[in-house]
Chain A
Amino acid sequence: MIMADVAIKLEGKSRRSLLDDVKALLPEGNLSLCLTCGLCSSGCPATGLEGMDPRKFLRMLVLGLDEEILKSDWPWMCTMCQRCVYVCPMKIDIPQLIFNVRGARPRDERPKGIRNSCDVAVASESCSAMGTPVEDFKFVVNDVLAEYREAQPEFADMQAPIDKVGAEFFINQNSREPMMEPDEMVPLWKILHLAEVDWTYGSRAWAAENYCLFLADAKNWEHLVRKKAEMATELGCKTYLNTE
């Protein structure tokens, strides 16, 4: 058991506000169902970071220690992986609470790296957190494709379509590969070619990542998801395949 360095002091009547917000999430947000069994904490890799763990986080919410919770960076060290709720006998949705606590911080005080990745994606036609322009993406894909068709004649007919109307699968692409390690895109293309899969990238909104979700910026999270869905719908694709 890892103990915090500083004891938490309870001062008279609790100041409830985060708890009230949480109640709107019933039944998953019903914190009074918590048995304090600690299954969440015992299987959480974030237990011990910043002197915090999931059970303690819940108890602090119940006690109305909003200020201390909002001050802690721990909600940014929980990855919302949902292992805690998977093992919780009462199915209390701790990751949803983490998301809400992240969102309760003023936007400009949330971690800069995540915020920038969200902002860049929102401003990008590609929805790319690296801001990769549409033209660069098209160029890299076509350039790498041409190179492999020539070097590996068995794949002379291989396709890496962009904006193919009516393709069965819309496949998204993490920005890292086209920009930093383009050869890493090729094995998947080859596999799709061999399996005769009818697929396409989109010229717009092709990027897979969505940091606005992690930033707990629900409006921009939805904005990015909609842009991607619209692109796939516009092309008449049946399935959106997320490679993330």
Chain B
Amino acid sequence: MPKWIREGKLKPSSEWNKDLKIKFTVQDPCQIVRKSFGDKIADDFRFAIAQAVGEENIAEMYPNKSNNYCCGGGGGFLQSGFKDQRLEYGRLKDEQIKQSGAQYCIAGCHNCHAQIHELSHHYGGNYQVVHFWTILALSLGILGPNERTYLGDDLKDVNVFHPESALY
């Protein structure tokens, strides 16, 4: 996606977030960043996110990129039956997200998405977790009303594509 933005095939705009100033943090997926492509792909990911939400609205977790902590959703932990231990494992991630001050955590992997969603509820952080393509589509002005399951109330009505197609 960063490549398609650089090539001009995708033209996201962060204008929608200029006044809202909603902050986004990034959960670097262990598999894609640390275990496969390193900091380079993490930087590429941030380039694309900055185009979509505005660079000043990225709120980093520390440590991050190749040094990022696993959220606890990987390795089969979500299916292993050790729920209490999994939530305890994720406490570190929850604290990192809260410290970033972000209202949204962008997750690049389904396991992270599920685990961080549960962490937000369990520890009462009330932050949202989203796939990047949802936010990119929002910034491209093509995100419809029924594609917003994981957006909070602050973004349910922002930049809605074909609002008349809402099912509710």
Contact = CB atoms under 8 A, between A and B. Distances in A.
Interface of A: 43, 45-46, 48-50, 73, 76-83, 86-87, 111-114, 116-117, 148, 151-152, 154-155, 174, 176, 181, 183-184, 186-188, 190-191, 194-197, 208-209, 211, 214-215, 243-244
Contacts of A82: 30, 34-35
A79 B74 contact: yes
B34 A86 contact: yes
Contacts of A86: 34, 66-67
Nearest to B93: A45
B99 interface: no
Interface residues of B, number: 51
A87 B79 CA distance: 28
Interface stretch (B13-21, B54-62, B121-129, B144-152): B144-152
Contacts of A117: 79
A190 B142 contact: yes
Given A112-B81, A151-B162, A244-B110, A83 B69 contact: yes
Contacts of B45: none
B74 to A, nearest CB: 4
Contact of B81 (A87, A113, A148, A187): A113
Given A151-B162, A191-B133, A79 B75 contact: yes
Interface in B72-99: 72-77, 79-82, 85-86, 88-93
Contacts of A184: 131, 134, 147, 149-150
